[in-house]
Every structure is written in structure tokens, then in C-alpha cells.
Structure 1
Amino acid sequence: MKICIAGSRRPVKHGLIPSGILFLPSTCLIIRKNLPILEFQKINQMKKTVLFSIAFAWVVSATAQQNEVVVSQNEQVLTVSVDPQYRVGINTKVPGVFNNLVWAEGSVAMLQKGAPELPVFYSSLIIAPVGAVQVTTTYTSYEDIQDISLLPSKGSLKRNINPDDVPYEFGPVYSTNAFFPGNLAEAGTPGIAGKDRRVSVRLFPFQYNPVTKTLRVYHGLQAIVLVDENIPGENEISATVRANEPGDNQVLYTPLGETGRMLVIAPQSYFNDLQPLVDWKKEKGIETDLVDIATVGNTQSAIKTYVQNYYNQYNDLMFLLLVGDHAQVNSYNAGMAGSEIKWSDSEYGQLAGSDKYPEIFVGRMPAASVSEVQRMVSKTLEYEKTPDTGSWYTTSIGIGSDQGAGIGDDGEADWQHLRNIRTLLMGYGYATVHEFYDGSHGGADASGNPNSSMVATAMNTGASLFMYCGHGDQNTCVTSNYSSTDVNAATNNNKYPFVISVACNNGTFTTGTCISEAWMRAYNANGPVGAINATGSSILMAWAEPMEVEDEIANILTEQYGTANIKHTLGGLFYNGEMSMLDAYNNSTTSREVMETWVMFGDPSVMMRTVTPDALTASHLLNIPLGSTSLTVNCNTDGATVCITQAGQILGTGTVSSGTVTINFTALTSTTPLLVTATAFNKIPYQGTVMVDPLGVVQQDIANGLQVYPNPASDVLTVEFFSGNNNTQVDLLNTLGQQLESRSVNGQNSFTKLAFDLSNLEQGVYFVRVNDGQQVSTRRILVK
């Protein structure tokens, strides 16, 4: 289900009707639904009630309209409404067998194997921190449709098979003279997402009796969700740690923020090469700690315990970066899925409750050597600090199979799913979205099946986003046969995409090297190539559930929620997308498995780029006195983050508003220069230095052309300036402000050049101060 904050446009997720479904104008049924109206009501001090209201009206039409869900809030009342349409059509995918299919925008399939496939609607909400969840339902009326034949669901399938090869199995439901699923609503197990306790509620307005072949649709369906604080519930939290009150946010998952500190765990041997990355993260305002895996302990229990304790100590922890292959930093064994071990990095980010909603974003730089660390760090710093300024950022690549119609998320085949995402991207401002689909589907998709050369050409030209949805193995995207070999042969230097792969085993990295690792490690003679980040499953992947993640990533990236859910970091996009999947599929076993085993390779705190970046400009004092407690920075980009650091430590951060921000900090006690860093989405960062004057004199920009050179200096230092009409004094000072040498120059209204002998000075930092009686300028010099 998709959602829109009041007054904003909500994504139209289902732009294509699933293939294999025939809708005839004379027989077409369209259901208009208002979903759902939620009212938070306090029953008493110990109970809270949430009211879901769904109203249905039948109309006849041959034209589908776009679906939009609107959320509005007034104090404790949260209202959700939508006017989508639904169709009951003839399913032509099974030749010779007449059957119907109910298709509904804004819904997901039940995926209960052997039972009738019916649309389900879901909502997720913040609930009281303690108490058991109970659900009751009411409705105003229902309407029966006779002679409807529905095939059973094939269940949640893996992507190592062709769904068309899976036979339909009619389960016990089909011999039972009763309406399925029977209950009109249900609440899932409460979970903890970030600091909030949430519950997902599913609503079943469609009921089917397979014996009488009757489809029943309920009108005015209401689900009343009661949280009884007198009865112990699951995954309870302390009210003191709750981030929001019930009703404080929109329906669906609570988006996790993307600001906070970072923990980096790596072998000691990688520290020197990781330090530039750690320094940069601090410079841009992310408190970052680098910890030796030997200190942590290289077992899953030791790593989980260390991260848990760190999170308990620093509740602003947002990013965890593991650096190393499985041998260097163990992944987490989350149990078995069939014959496969569910290797999970995301398990280290699930730090509250027994659910699979994350508290932090986890990424891995899969470096098995120092040289691989160097390349990954270099790529990340280049992407964030000194990005390429080409036009390729508005290009995306979509590769998909032609399978999955009626089985995939929203009933879409893989290519339909990616084409709908393409529509969002093009509407957002992408100039080119390549379509590489099996089969021939018109549009930008060429006839026949794509090949690896076609994909390689697009890759090497440059793309900011690479979405795959199809079959895969450890080293291959089966549609196009684009493989690790192609990644390693890439020439996309300086043009790195964010790769999201819905495929089997593209992230199987604990036994051998996978294509996701190739995306991160690839390089050529000109430097790193491949991806900035890549996501891949460590096991066989589910078919439908991860498609919802790609949908949600596209919705967030293209700002379909307006300001209600803006995410720019790769971790923020990926993990919020996975939370949407958990909600949509009611925390099913399969959706939890996807959450566990979908690995993010790369730094989760990296901010994605979607347009050619332009320079972020800023201005501020170039010199402030010792003891200063603030600095004002003017900037051309509202919303930019400005951070001030000194000697690698963050003094303070702030956000630019109306072109300015003042950052307060503890009084300066060191003359070490300050570094000002400003960053913003799709901008080239600004960095500037502020000198700290030991004598407490604030530098002013004087127009007399002061030059001090060479710097660093060893024997002789030249000071050149325009003396004007006033007498000018030039002093050489040490870091204590003590005068080592002083020169006076009478006003000559001309350029003056002075030479200072430095041969007797010890190596270190010194200052040159020029004072013409009206203006003062100080320059820092280094004597070597």
C-alpha cells in the first residue's frame, strides 16, 4: 500500500495491470475504496484505541483511475483515506481453465499456499509502549458476487524457479464450505523500529467461499485495535525511550532517521587506510569511532554484544560499518533456510525487541586486503568529497526478467515492476532510464533479450542507479548474463551507481566471492570502478517480497512522500525500503528472511547523488580569537549541514536556515586551526580553515594584498603587502603570542617586501601579524 501526506502527491505504484488478466468493459467490476480512517481514542488511562475504517462502493467502469492515499492529522486523530479501484477479471494465464483474479491497487497478495489468492490491505501504526494488542471488527454491509472461480496461491516463491513451472495446489480450503480467510482483520506481532513500538494491521474486505464460488466484499469495514496495558504484550518498551506518541506519524512504518554517529569495526591492519574515511565522516558531522575487531572479538556473539553495548551507551548510533570479508569480520549466522545458512549483517543492527525492524543501518566494505581497503575508501571519498561533474547522474539502469506476472509484488512481472519504477524516476528528473528486459515489451526496451554487452555499454557511460530484478546466482544477473567478469572489466571510473539486486545469491560472500563484492572491489589502471554500494542476498531470494523494497526505495528517492520521508543516505533508502516490506507482508517468515539475508556492501552513511553536483559556497571569519565560543557561517544552500572540527574532534554542527547558521561550542583553548565543512544533497562540499589567534585579535579581510611565502618555510620568510598611507607593524609570533621579531614600515602608499630570518627557529607553528592601525591580518606559517 502506498501513502501520501495531506496535500502531497502519493506514488502511483501500480501503473500496469498484471499481464494475463483480461478485463472486459461489460463485465468489469471496479471497487472504490476509502482506506483507512484511523482515530486514536483514549478509553482510559490504561487503554488506547485505534480505529481503522474502510468504506467500499461498487461502480461499473472500463477505465482504471490512479490510486492515492492521503494522511492527515489533528491532535490525537490520525485520518487515512484513499479512493483506489479494484477489478475482477478473467485470468488467461491458465489455458483451458476459466478462472478469475481480483486485482486491487494499494494491496498485496496473501501468499498463503493452497488458499485463494485475495488482495490484502495493511496499515502500521505507533502503539502504546506496553500492553497486549487486541482487534475487533465491525462493518455496515457486504455484497456477494456469484460464480467467481479463484485459483489458489502458489505461496511465497524463491527466485531460483520459474513461477509458471509451479503447479497450482488446491488446499483444504477448497473443500470447506466457508468464507476464507474468515477473520476480517488481524494484528501482527508488535515490533520496535528505532525508538517506537509499532504494530502492523491487515484488513480482509475480500472473502471467498470456494465451494459456492462466492466472492464477498465488505463495506464500511472497521478494525478497532485495542492496546490493553493491563495485559503483558510482546516487545514492550519503556515510555521514556519512545520517540513518538501514538498518532504522531503517518500510517505505515515509522521511517528511521539518518543522522547520528557511526561505529566502524575492522582489523587493526586496516586502520591507517581507514583513517581518511574516519576523518572525513567527523569533518562532515558524523561522530565516528574506529574499533579493532580483536578488541571486539571475531565471533557473532561478541560482535552483537559489543554493538548492543555501544548502542546502549550512545543511543544516537545510526551507522555500523564492518570492514573486511567474512574471515576478517564474521557475519551473523541467523539459522537455516532450507539447506542454506542465513548469513546476516543486518542482525547486528536489530538491537531492540525480537522483531526484525532495524535500529541502525549496517554496511560492509568487503575488503580482504589493505589494497582493497584503499580502493574502497578512495572511491567513497571521491564520491562524497570530490565528485565527478558529468551529466550521468540522471541516468539509471533497469534489468528485469519477463517472469512473475500474477506472482510478483502487486501482481507484476519483473519487467512491469521496473517499468513502473522508471516512470517515477523519469518524473523526478532522470533523463535516461535504460530498459533491459527479457522478451519484447516496447518503450525503451529493445526487441529480444538483452545481453551483457548492452548493459556494459550503459554502465561504462555512467548511471547513478542500477536496479536488477530477476534470476541470479553468486556471480551473475541471469537476465543479460551480466556477471562479475563484466564488473571487473568495467571502465566507469568516477561514475559509480548504487546497485540494488533482487536475485538469488548475488550477495553470497561467506563462501567464495560474489558479484556484490566484485561491485565494491573492481578497479583498473585508472582507479576504482564498479559501484558505490551494492546490495545482494546471501541465500536464495524470495520472489515478491523484495520487489516491495525496490518500490519503496524509488518512492523515497523520488520524494513521493514530500517532506514526510526524505532520505538521502544509501542506508536510509535501503533499510527504510525493507521496513516497508515487513509491513506489507505482515512480518511473514519470508519477509523476515529477506531482511536478515539482504546484505548492504559499502558505507551506509554515503549520501546518494541524483543530479550533476554543483559547488556549495560558504563564507565566515578567517580568524577568531582564542576563547571564542561560536562561529557564524553564511551558506548558499538552506538545509546544508555545517560542522566545525578542531584537531579531528567535532566542536559543533548546525543546519543552514535563511542562508546562515551560528554554531556554538566550548570556549577555544587551543590555537589549532578550525576546519569548517558544509555538506548537502547533490552538492560538492565546502571546506575552509579558520585560524585561532593566540592574542585574541580577530582577522579582518584587508585590501592590501598580504602575501606570506614560502609556507612551509625553512630559512627565510618573505612578507609582502601594500602599506598604504599609515605606518604598518609586522610581527613574528610564536603560538603563545610572544613577539619574536617586529618590523615597522612608514606609510609609503606602495607594496613593501620584508624578509625574516628563520634559521634559528625550531620547527613548528608560528604567526605573522600585520597591523596598519586600521586593519589587522594574521597568517599561520609552518617552519620546517
Structure 2
Amino acid sequence: MTLLNLAKSFFRETKKAEELIQNSFFNIETIRAYLLSYSTKRNRLNNLLTQIKLSMNTQNPLNVLFSLIVIFLLSFSEVLIANEKEYPDSWGKQGFSIIKQTSTGVEINYSITAFNFTKVQINGKTMDAIELSGSYLPNNEGAPDLPGTGRLIAIPQGSNVSYNIIKSRTETFTGIDLAPAPVIPSQTETGPLKYYFSESVYTTNKFYPKNPVSTSDPNKIRGVDVIMLGITPFQYNPVTKELIVYRDLKIKIKFQNGNNQFGEDRLRSHWWDPLFEDMLFNYESLPDIDYNYTFKSNSKDYGAEYLIISPNGPEFQQWADSIRNFRTLQGILSKVVTLDDIGGNTASLIEDYINDAYNTWDIPPVAVLCLGDFGSDPSNSVTSPIWQNYCVSDNIYADVNGNDMPDIILARMCAQNATQLETMVTKFLNNERNPPTDTNYYNHPITSCLFQSGGWAQICTESLAGFYEVIQNKSTNRINVCNGTLPDVWSIAPNTAALINYFGPNGLGYIPATPAQVNCTWNGNTNDVINGINNGAFMLVHRGTGSEQGWGEPDFSNNDINALNNTNLTFIWSIDCLTGKFNLSGECFAEKFHRHTSGGNNAGALGIVAASEISYSLVSDVYAWGAFDNMWPDFMPDVITTPESKGVLPAFANVAGKYFLYQSSWPYNTANKIVIYNIFHYFGDAFSTVYYEMPQELDVSHPAWVLVGTTVFEVTANEGSLIALSVNGVLIGTGDGTGAPVLIQIPPQNPPDEILVTVTKQNYYRYEAWVPVGTGTGLMDNTAQDYINVYPNPVTDNLLIKLTKNMGTTYITISNLLSELVYENKIEVGEEKTLNINLSGYRGVYFIRIKTAKIDHAKKIIVQ
């Protein structure tokens, strides 16, 4: 075979090979980028390329290419091929799949379709490592670094759980010198990862772990009994250096002695169930729930989906009531309680009140908003618990069951006075009433990171940046920093190759094979951040180093926020240390960002997610990926599940990210994960929605008026929308838009009341319309009687409508008892005019409505 043919064979594309060979500017980096984009063994290949680059004379590019190909193919191909193991005849797809689910148990298949062996340097010694797609975090520090992960399984109330492996297939490898898992560093630590060998494992002639399958004790998540099923499809004996690979497992989990009821129906919610759908592997076992209640006029006695805890100060109560009214009209039953109602401003009293509401209210809270900064003064602050003497943590309020996992969405607005409160509340109110209409705002989201060789910060943000571009067709504004020379590889952290295989050219295509191929300069600075926000960006995600006062790289701190004049507000994800330390005696970064105004206008952050203490690398990235996937379920398709998105609600994404992390690599690294659960906080309104596309008008239709005593209201609205009906600020009914007519049960209403119809949907303008309640027995008011006369009634064939005086534009509709239109017309009325409407062919009771700018007239007519 000639060298040219060898090159063609290696690159698999004749045209590309010839182009590279003939290009006089061809260099080793071009080879590197192209080969890495096609290789599944990127770490080893990249090391090889670096060695070649250092040892060869690159003045003759043709010789470089030929030598590279010959050396690679003849000297290394056999080794590399041996390091990739594929199982094309596996029993199922990679990872977990459900075979069967019933009230008595589930059957699950777990398969490995492929995994890789790689070589790593541990304290100067070359050792083996395993990379497995779908497993991100390392094993427990010091133990053999075997990949594993978990899935949450819902079980019937009161069940005892057992499992057995029905069937399995294994393969055994010998002579494997498996590396230990590293110590997961905090985000303040720099330098290489630290490794040590757990003597209790590495000196014992036993396989680790003892079993490839494990289950947790029963637990609860918002009323649903669950267990965690963990699978580590490998066992390793460090003394004999044997590795058992469980290439396929069929597992049967039995539920015994339970009551066959999955979850507590009272705690199910339109808002929380999408989280269940994403986290529970057998979500379909949960019973169907009608989320749309028929609310009575005294609905406040039922409880509330949204609990707003207000300081006692009157200005706080007034703004709390504005939030309550806005969300209630949207269809989210909301309630305000003051610290006086709770009994005081202590963490234990507040936690007890939230727990009691969760456990006893007919409609328990889905979300809680603490409407005040951390502090002891009950007039302007709402205190927060301290977790493990380490960090301030509202997650303790959210964790009703005492397992560190949230059962409620917790939000906070760190306002200390009326001015700050008005800023924070009007930010989200104005954003949803009048969302931005600048295309640049939606087309240029910002991602920003500090390159950390021992971590995944750059993969975290660049995977989202690529998603914006590949899936959402946006142009991401990257503001990245690399201190020193940009490394040739994405990271030296364990299992990085599996991440690149998933997010990179061989997978989703969000990131290139090497960092050098990213479309940015890697020298972002303060002005880039200021200009990016001021020019318009619906979201900014930063991942790197942080402090109480801001980000380290690119340098952006509290003082720099003063330069922001963006009236189109940006939502901020600060996946860093300390930027959300809201119990600081001064003003932390998150507080400054959220309180910021410019020239009397709201500016800066719409809301922000930030950490109240020092975080950990790697686990923070997995948390972030889970949050991104909640906002956009197509970000990581088929990871756990992919439910329909309920919208970009960062407060909910914050919780989703924690549950995603909880399942990742279970049962390993529990202590690092618990820190993440407790430090990451959401600052803003709990139901605040981030618009990420240009808003559109909803297509809504419903009766223009309703008859007194009506108990059903029909609305047609876009699929996936939320429909809410209210009277005098009281919610009377809700429904889910389907694109077809939806019948909503309502209590009987009486004139002169009007029903407010409110419809909302992600990336659509909020729809609001008033519908009057009429008696149907005559004219609605004396003013209309002076202008309009409808006769005869009853009518046989022709109905006459006499319109007098200058009525202007007049709308006339006639509908049947099902609110179906049989006649509609729009006319201009100057002086007196009489309309003759032929109703022959119709029989029964109908309703006519005549509406102008000043008159809204409704009447029942009988057609004989």
C-alpha cells in the first residue's frame, strides 16, 4: 500500500486526505484536530500527537503526515483497538431500560454496548482507567475508579423492596491495574488532581464492589415513596488484578406488602410533576391526576400552591400581595403570610410553618418565596437556617423529609427596603407583562468560563453554547478565559473522554474535538461581560472561580455591575463559589446583580442562581447539566427521561439539577453532592419565566359573555398553555390548553361580576380578557336600553336589531348554549340602523351580544 493510499485509508475521506497533503500550510495541529474529531480514544491519541509534535521536524508537512500515519497505524493501532470494547449483541440500549412496570414491581435491563480502557498517570505510575458513557462522576475517592450510576424507582406506599438478578452476561479481563478515583477538588483548588489508594480496598483479595447491583432504603420525594437502584457494571479485585464486566443485566425488583398506591395525590401538582416525570424511572406507574381544581370563593382556606412569606413591614406586605394577585390570576393559587402569622422570625418557626402547610393543607405549597434578605429584624427580613455550620441554606426549608433533597421549590428576594423590593418585584412582573422584543436579546446568549484542566468548567459551558447553536440556531457570545497556553485536551479529569464522546463530534455535536477549535479567543475580560449584557442576552451562564464579590475570570465584580444599563434583563447562572452568600454582612454579588437599576430603570439581572459557600468541581458541572436539561429537555436527549418542557423556570431547574446529581454515579460521592444541594440558591420569583425566543401572540377563543348560573366555561387555547379563570381576584378554575375546546368547571357567577380569562405559555405574550356575566333576561343596563332594541322575542324567522345614535364600531354575535357561534358581524353605526337577521332553520335558546366601545349588551332569545 502506498503512503498516499495509507493516508486515504486512515482519514476515510479521499478528498480530505488529498487536501491536507497538498496544503503547504498543513501542520501538526491540523492533523490533531482532524484525527481527534474522528477518534473515540481522544486522550491517548492526543498524548501520542503531542509526543510526535515534540520529537519531529515539522518543516516538511508531507513527511510529518506520512510519519504520523505510519507510526500511528503500525506502532499503536493494535494497542488502541484493543482498548475499545464493543458489544454489538447487547440485550438493550446503553444503560437502563424498563422491560415491565406494574404495581407489584419493575423489570429493568442494563446493558453496556461499548466502553474504553485508557491509560492514566497516577503519582508517576501508569495505570488503567475505564470510561463508560452515561457515567460522569468518579467512584469514592481512593477506591478503584469503577463507573456506576443510579435511577430513582417509585414504589407503592409502605412497600418492602427486594431484587434479584434474573440473568446476566459477563466478561473477565486479567492483568488490569486499575487506578483509584481522585479526590474531588473544591473550586478554589488548582493544580493536578490528587490521588491516594484506599488500603482497605487495594490490599484486600476481594472484588469491589461486593455486588454490581444495590438499592437504597425507602425514601420519600414529595409524598412519593422511592428507592434508588444503583448499578456498577464492573467488579475489580486489586490483588489478583481481575476485572469482571457485566455487559448485560436483567433485574427484577419486587414491591411487597404495600397498598398499591404510588404517591400521595394531595401533593401532586401541575408544576412539580414534570420534575417527577424526569427523575422517576417508572413515572408511568403513578396514577393520573387532574391538576385543575374547581376553586370556591373561599379558596384561601384550601391552602395555596405558592406560599409567600413576608416580613411584617407594610411595604413588604403590599408587594407580597402584588405577587400573590399576579400569580393567582395566572392560575397559581397563592397566599401571603407574615412573620407575625408564623409566630416570629426564627428558622425553626418558619420551617415548622412550611412543614405544617406541606403536611396538612388541602392544596399544599409547591413553592415558597422568602420575601426579604437574611436577618433578624421581622419588619424587613426573613431569616434562614445554617447547614452543618458551613453555609446559609434555604434548602433546609425545602427539605420536608429530612433527607437533604428538596420537596418544595424555594426562592428568595434579598430586599432590605421598599426601593429594593420594588426593583426585584417589578423586574419579573414587567418581564412577563411586556417581554423584550429585541431579536439580538434572544439570539446572543452568553456563556463564560475559566479553563480548568483538572475540571469540567469549560465542557459545562461549551456544551450549552453548542446546544444554543446546533439545536436553537442562536449565535452564542462566548466570554472565556484561559490563563496561560490553551491545553490540547478538554480536561485531564477522569471520564472526560466519555463526556467528549457524548457532547462532541461523535455524539450530540455541541463541542469540537479540542478546545482550540472553539470559536473564541480565550481572553475574555470585564468589558466583554458588560458589553454582552448591555447589548442584550436573555441568559448568562458563568462557570469558574467566584467570591462573595464576583467572578475571578473574566474579572467581573460588584463595582462592574454599576456599568450595566440593560433594560432587557438577563437571567444569571453563577455556577461558582460564594457569589450567593446572602448572609454576608455586606452586599454579595447575587444581591447586587438582582437589586441593580440604571438611570431609574430596572437593569442587571432578572434573577440569579448562585452558591452561598465554596463549591466542588465536577459535581457542580453535573448539577448544571441537569438544570440545563430541565429547562430544555432536548439538551441531553434520552438521559434519564425527556419529558415535555413546562418552560424555562430557573427555580425549578435549580431543583432538577440537584436530583440529576443525586442519581449520577450513585452510591458514590454522597458527601460532595450534599454540599451542592445546600449551597445553590435561586434568587427571584419562584415561577419567574425566562423568555428565550421572540414572544408570539396566543390563539385564544372563548365566549364573549356568560349567563348567570353557568357552571362550565369553554376555552380554546394553544397546546401546552395554562388557562385560568378568576373573578374579583379569586381563582375559580384552571385548565390546560390543547388547541381544541376545553371545558372548565366553575362555580355559578352573578352580575355585575366579570370573569377574567388569563392564558400563559412559554415564549408567548400573556393573554387577558374580561368576560361579563349577564342575566340573559333583557338588556344588561339602562344605558344600553337607550341605544339598542332587539325584537321580536321569541322569534320565528327574522330577528330585528334596531341600533340608534352614533354607536361607532359595533360587534354582534349570536351563540347557542354550547357557546358555538351561529352569527357574527362587525358594522359601523352612524345614525339609526336596523339589522334583519334570518334565523330560520334554528330552534332553541340562543344568546345575542352587542358590543361597542361603551356598551356591552347581552340578551337571551328564543327561536321557535
Measure, in 2, the Cα distance between the counterparts of 1:398 and 1:88: 33
CA drift at 1:437: 2.9
Counterpart of 1:652 (choices 698, 723, 733) is 733
CA drift at 1:376: 0.9
SS in 1 for 2:594: helix
SS in 2 for 1:123: strand
Counterpart of 1:326 (choices 374, 398, 404) is 374
Determine whether 1:287 maps to 2:287. Answer: no
CA drift at 1:545: 1.8
CA drift at 1:749: 8.1
Query: Structure 1 stretches of 5 or more lacking a match?
Result: 1-13, 57-82, 708-723, 732-747, 754-772
Cα distance per residue 1:742-765 (max 9 Å; x no partner): xxxxxx984379xxxxxxxxxxxx
* Equivalent AA in structure 2 for residue 358 of structure 1: P
SS in 2 for 1:268: coil
CA drift at 1:452: 1.8
1:53–1:380 distance in 2 versus 1, CA, 3 Å = same
CA drift at 1:521: 0.8
SS in 1 for 2:659: helix
Q: Which residue of 2 aligns with 1:770?
A: none
Structure 1 contact 196–243 (Cα < 8 Å) conserved: no
* Equivalent AA in structure 2 for residue 202 of structure 1: G
Q: How does 1:690-709 map to 2 (within 5 A)?
A: 690-693=771-774, 696-697=777-778
Determine whether 1:115 maps to 2:143. Answer: yes
CA drift at 1:682: 0.4
Query: Structure 2 stretches of 5 or more lacking a match?
Result: 1-36, 47-75, 293-303, 487-514, 789-799, 808-827, 834-846, 857-864
Structure 2 contact 413–684 (Cα < 8 Å) conserved: yes
Counterpart of 2:310 (choices 253, 263, 266) is 266
* Equivalent AA in structure 1 for residue 396 of structure 2: E
Structure 2 contact 654–681 (Cα < 8 Å) conserved: no
Determine whether 1:90 maps to 2:142. Answer: no
Counterpart of 1:36 (choices 92, 96, 112) is 96
Measure, in 2, the Cα distance between the counterparts of 1:237 and 1:299: 35
Measure, in 1, the Cα distance between the counterparts of 2:740 and 2:166: 53
Once the two structures are aligned, what percentage of the paired residues are identical? 20
Q: How does 1:480-559 map to 2 (within 5 A)?
A: 480-497=554-571, 499-511=572-584, 512-559=586-633
Measure, in 2, the Cα distance between the counterparts of 1:189 and 1:750: 78
Cα distance per residue 1:46-94 (max 9 Å; x no partner): xx444433344xxxxxxxxxxxxxxxxxxxxxxxxxx4x3211122x66
CA drift at 1:610: 1.5
Determine whether 1:185 maps to 2:232. Answer: no
CA drift at 1:480: 0.6
* Equivalent AA in structure 1 for residue 350 of structure 2: I
Q: Which residue of 2 aligns with 1:577?
A: 657
SS in 1 for 2:125: coil
1:613–1:190 distance in 2 versus 1, CA, 3 Å = same
Q: Which residue of 2 aligns with 1:359?
A: 407
Q: Which residue of 2 aligns with 1:458?
A: 532
Greater shift, 378-387 or 667-676, is seen at 667-676
Measure, in 2, the Cα distance between the counterparts of 1:107 and 1:371: 47
CA drift at 1:705: 14
Measure, in 1, the Cα distance between the counterparts of 2:448 and 2:384: 30
Structure 2 contact 223–264 (Cα < 8 Å) conserved: no
Structure 2 contact 163–253 (Cα < 8 Å) conserved: yes
SS in 2 for 1:489: coil
Cα distance per residue 1:684-706 (max 9 Å; x no partner): 11112223346755889xx9999
Structure 1 contact 182–207 (Cα < 8 Å) conserved: yes
Which has the larger share of strand?
1
Structure 2 contact 752–774 (Cα < 8 Å) conserved: yes
Counterpart of 2:180 (choices 145, 152, 155) is 152
Greater shift, 286-295 or 27-36, is seen at 27-36
Measure, in 1, the Cα distance between the counterparts of 2:123 and 2:518: 30
CA drift at 1:564: 2.2
Measure, in 1, the Cα distance between the counterparts of 2:213 and 2:257: 21
Q: Which residue of 1 aligns with 2:682?
A: 600
1:250–1:690 distance in 2 versus 1, CA, 3 Å = closer
1:191–1:590 distance in 2 versus 1, CA, 3 Å = farther
* Equivalent AA in structure 1 for residue 763 of structure 2: N
Q: How does 1:222-621 map to 2 (within 5 A)?
A: 222-229=250-257, 252=280, 261-269=305-313, 270-296=316-342, 297-311=344-358, 312-327=360-375, 328-336=380-388, 340-351=389-400, 353-391=401-439, 392-403=441-452, 405=454, 408=455, 413-439=456-482, 440=486, 441-497=515-571, 499-511=572-584, 512-560=586-634, 564-568=643-647, 569-586=649-666, 588-621=670-703
CA drift at 1:323: 0.5
CA drift at 1:475: 1.8
CA drift at 1:25: 4.3
Measure, in 1, the Cα distance between the counterparts of 2:622 and 2:654: 11
Measure, in 2, the Cα distance between the counterparts of 1:95 and 1:280: 59
CA drift at 1:729: 9.2
Structure 2 contact 803–832 (Cα < 8 Å) conserved: no
Measure, in 2, the Cα distance between the counterparts of 1:16 and 1:521: 48
SS in 2 for 1:447: coil
Structure 1 contact 545–585 (Cα < 8 Å) conserved: no
SS in 1 for 2:445: strand
Q: Which residue of 2 aligns with 1:672?
A: 753
Structure 1 contact 624–696 (Cα < 8 Å) conserved: no
Structure 1 contact 505–538 (Cα < 8 Å) conserved: yes
Cα distance per residue 1:148-170 (max 9 Å; x no partner): 33332223332121251635455
Greater shift, 126-135 or 195-204, is seen at 126-135
Determine whether 1:663 maps to 2:744. Answer: yes
CA drift at 1:558: 2.5
Structure 1 contact 111–155 (Cα < 8 Å) conserved: no
Structure 2 contact 371–415 (Cα < 8 Å) conserved: yes
Measure, in 2, the Cα distance between the counterparts of 1:294 and 1:17: 62
* Equivalent AA in structure 2 for residue 601 of structure 1: F
CA drift at 1:583: 1.4
Q: How does 1:763-778 map to 2 (within 5 A)?
A: 776-777=850-851
Which has the larger share of helix?
2
Structure 1 contact 725–749 (Cα < 8 Å) conserved: no
SS in 2 for 1:425: helix
1:132–1:546 distance in 2 versus 1, CA, 3 Å = farther
* Equivalent AA in structure 1 for residue 437 of structure 2: T
CA drift at 1:509: 0.8
SS in 2 for 1:119: coil
TM-score normalised by structure 2 residue count: 0.70
SS in 1 for 2:192: helix
* Equivalent AA in structure 2 for residue 515 of structure 1: F
1:616–1:698 distance in 2 versus 1, CA, 3 Å = farther
CA drift at 1:249: 6.2
CA drift at 1:381: 0.7
SS in 1 for 2:587: coil
1:19–1:598 distance in 2 versus 1, CA, 3 Å = farther
SS in 1 for 2:570: coil
Q: Which residue of 2 aligns with 1:11?
A: none
1:21–1:187 distance in 2 versus 1, CA, 3 Å = farther
Measure, in 1, the Cα distance between the counterparts of 2:739 and 2:780: 25
Measure, in 1, the Cα distance between the counterparts of 2:38 and 2:785: 65
SS in 2 for 1:554: helix
Measure, in 1, the Cα distance between the counterparts of 2:309 and 2:207: 54
* Equivalent AA in structure 2 for residue 89 of structure 1: T
Greater shift, 508-517 or 394-403, is seen at 394-403
Determine whether 1:643 maps to 2:724. Answer: yes
Structure 2 contact 327–333 (Cα < 8 Å) conserved: yes
